[in-house]
Amino acid sequence: MRIFKSKAFARFARKEGLTDTQLAKAVTDAENGLIDADLGGGVIKQRIARLNEGKSGGYRSIILFKIGARAFYVHGFAKSDQSSIDAVELTDFRKLASVLLNITDAQMEPLLREGKFTEVKDNDQNL
């Protein structure tokens, strides 16, 4: 399973102090069936705990997800800042999922080179 984060999500994660290990764990949980909300069309919402706190008051992440293949972190927010995403955002995320979850590794490479996405690296899980 390869995990990526968009440039915007990487900025959010860095600002909030979210590590690649935390991001990898959230995707591993999803692969194990522990999905907080399946929004359809390859879009899921996963909670990520704040450091030394629980998930309930933590962060929400929107992930484009295809089990056993790829996961793309595309949006993140603190529960205290935003309750959820709206219908327009969900439609946009589903359209993006239909593209990104079906591209080849060769098509992914330019997106990585251009900095539009970076790969999540978790040394504990060798991702």
Q: Is residue 127 part of a domain?
A: no
* Residue 70 domain flag: yes
Decide if 84 is inside a domain.
Answer: yes
pLDDT tens for each residue of 6-26: 999 999 999 999 999 999 999
Say what the alpha-carbon torsion angle 123, 117, 107, 40 is, to the nearest 10 degrees. 90
For residue 57, the model assigns a pLDDT of 63
Q: Quick check: is 56 in a domain? A: yes
Q: Residues 50-93: pLDDT tens digits?
A: 766 655 567 999 999 999 899 999 999 987 777 788 999 999 99
Summarize pLDDT for 114-125 with one digit per residue, the tens.
Answer: 999 999 987 554
Q: What is the pTM of this model?
A: 0.90
- The whole-angstrom separation of Cα 32 and Cα 29 is 5
* Strand pairing category for 2-6 and 37-40: unpaired
Say if 126 falls within a structural domain.
Answer: no
Structural domain that includes position 38? 2-119
96 inside domain: yes
41 lies in some domain: yes
The predicted structure's pLDDT at residue 127: 38
- Give how many domains the chain has, as a whole number: 1
Residue 66 lies in a domain: yes
